[in-house]
Amino acid sequence: MIRYVNSFISVIIAFMMLILWVFTYKYTCFSLIFPIISLTLISKNSFELLKTKKICNANCYLNKNSFIYTLLTGRIFIFIFSLVISIIITTSLFIYAITFNIYDIIIVILSGISVIVLYNKYQNTKIFSENVKNIFVKNIAVFTNTLIFTIILVVININQTPPSFIDNNLLNTITNASKEVYSVCPFNQIISKVTMELQSIKWWIMVKFSINNHNEAIKIIVWLLFLISNYLVILGFSKLVLEVNQIGEKLWNNKKQMSN
């Protein structure tokens, strides 16, 4: 029972971080604490996975005394690589949160609940070695969950009316989109405007080329961009929920040990 309560609380905490960011990013730089905490947790998840995979692959294919082995398994290389990936994921998640509608909120919350259920289910698997089991189970749960809810999110988005900032002219579209975000915090202002402008370009291409263009290759590229942007949102929230959940479980286990 406690495990289910902890799981539910994890989803609420992760979602509240997004909501608090949405309501505070315009007024204070302190709002950056929410993306920074999320970036830290997502980076931890990415670092653990990359480190384990690279060490496993390097041990299988490379000589331990070689320079390439040292480079690929070095903490600095893995840290920088995982940090770059995590920044992209975190930025996508928090900027997307600014434009949340009711359908997005429902999908994101359901994806958080789903990833916890998948994680608990996959814990019973006997496929992985015990020393790497938790890392791979977490990321299989994240991958499966992200795949399912990305498809759902895309289907919902393509059946909605395009954003109001879309114009026949690309420059007007970018200008309209940049006006929809504002912050007194310089850093928030720059990041939110640049990311919103990039999203407006994505939407403009999506609307113009997917409908009016008969070139199948261009249509495929446009849809891939749309899929990737939605994929990063669900991926980020799934990773965030699992890391918050794991912290909650550790705190609960430590409390039980102290009481015993």
- The pLDDT score that the predictor gives to residue 218 is 66
pTM given for the model: 0.84
CB 2 within 8 A of CB 225: no
| Tally of domains within the chain | 1
For 240, counting Cβ atoms within 10 Å of its Cβ (0-12 exposed, 13-18 middle, 19+ buried), the class is buried
Q: Given 3-state DSSP classes, what are the helix, strand and coil percentages for the chain, each rounded to the nearest 5?
A: 85, 0, 15
For residue 143, give the H/E element and its range: helix 130-158
For residue 19, give both structure tokens. 């909501």
For residue 24, give both structure tokens. 């505070």
- The pLDDT score that the predictor gives to residue 59 is 66
Residues of the chain with pLDDT under 70: 1-4, 57-65, 69-74, 209-219, 259-260
- The pLDDT score that the predictor gives to residue 210 is 60
Query: Which residue reads 């294919």 in tokens?
Result: 61
For residue 87, give both structure tokens. 């920044």
Q: What is the span of the domain harbouring residue 140? A: 2-259
- The pLDDT score that the predictor gives to residue 110 is 92
Q: Supply the DSSP symbol for 162.
A: P
For residue 158, give both structure tokens. 């393509």
- The pLDDT score that the predictor gives to residue 128 is 72
- The pLDDT score that the predictor gives to residue 240 is 92
